[in-house]
Each structure stands twice: as structure tokens, then as C-alpha cells.
């Protein structure tokens, strides 16, 4: 990933949440248990790239949450995507407390 020196800003195309996001939020309220916590802000994330999150309505937000797995590389860093893809082709999941993993090389 090549860093850009071009100034980038969030892009807001609709009211928030937008119409597509509202549909998803309404379906979530109908089908997901209310015991599952939801934040007060209504952001529906559809894709991420670098430090940006895009919702289904095309609004782009600066991701200031630093979520798990993107803290140091940003969303969808090409080297990380390749490593995940390569690993998924070999073994997607195995509980490390149940078996020894041959994936760990010393």
C-alpha cells in the first residue's frame, strides 16, 4: 500500500443514516436479539479501506475506532488480505487449545 499525500475527507451523500442503511438497521431490530448491544450512532459498515469506512449509501467516514485487526494497517491492506487469503486456502479455523497447529513455525 502506497501512502497518499493527497488530502482526503469524509464524503456524506445522504442524510444519516441513509435509506439503505435504515433498511438494514430496521431488519437488525426485527431479527437480532435485543440483548446484543448496539451503539447510539447508527453506522452500517459495508466496506473499509485504509482509514475509511463506507456505508451502503456511499457515505464515507474516517474510522476513528481502531477496531481489532486494523489498528496498525488500516482496512484491507493488500499484504494482510493476501496473507488471510493464503491461510484460508489451507485452514480457516481450528481451536488452538484443542490441537497443535502446524501453521506456527519456530
CATH code of the domain covering residue 81: 3.90.1150.10
29-46 residue pLDDT tens? 999 898 988 888 889 999
9 located within any domain:
no
71 located within any domain:
yes
1 located within any domain:
no
40 located within any domain:
yes
pLDDT of residue 23: 94
Q: Cβ–Cβ contacts within 10 Å for residue 91, how many?
A: 10
10 located within any domain:
no
- Domain holding 55, by residue range, is 19-90
3-state DSSP call for residue 55? coil
12 located within any domain:
no
Q: Nine-digit cell at 46?
A: 459495508
Domain count along the chain: 1
47 located within any domain:
yes
55-100 residue pLDDT tens? 999 999 998 876 666 677 888 889 989 988 998 887 777 666 666 5
Say if residues 13 and 57 touch (Cβ distance below 8 Å): yes
Instruction: Single out the residue of 104, 50, 55 nearest to residue 81, CA to CA.
Output: 50
pLDDT winner (highest mean) among 2-6, 21-25, 95-99, 101-105: 21-25
Task: Using pLDDT thresholds of 50, 70 and 90, give the confidence band for residue 15.
Answer: very high
66 located within any domain:
yes
Amino acid at each position: 500500500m502506497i501512502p497518499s499525500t493527497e488530502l482526503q475527507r469524509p464524503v456524506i451523500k445522504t442524510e444519516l443514516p441513509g435509506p439503505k442503511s435504515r433498511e438494514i438497521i430496521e431488519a437488525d431490530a426485527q431479527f437480532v436479539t435485543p440483548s446484543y448491544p448496539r451503539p447510539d450512532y447508527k453506522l452500517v459498515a459495508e466496506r473499509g479501506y485504509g482509514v475509511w469506512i463506507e456505508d451502503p449509501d456511499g457515505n464515507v467516514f474516517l474510522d476513528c475506532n481502531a477496531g481489532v485487526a486494523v489498528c496498525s494497517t488500516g482496512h484491507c491492506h493488500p499484504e494482510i488480505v493476501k496473507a488471510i487469503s493464503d491461510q484460508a486456502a489451507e485452514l480457516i479455523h481450528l481451536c488452538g487449545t484443542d490441537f497443535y497447529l502446524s501453521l506456527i513455525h519456530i
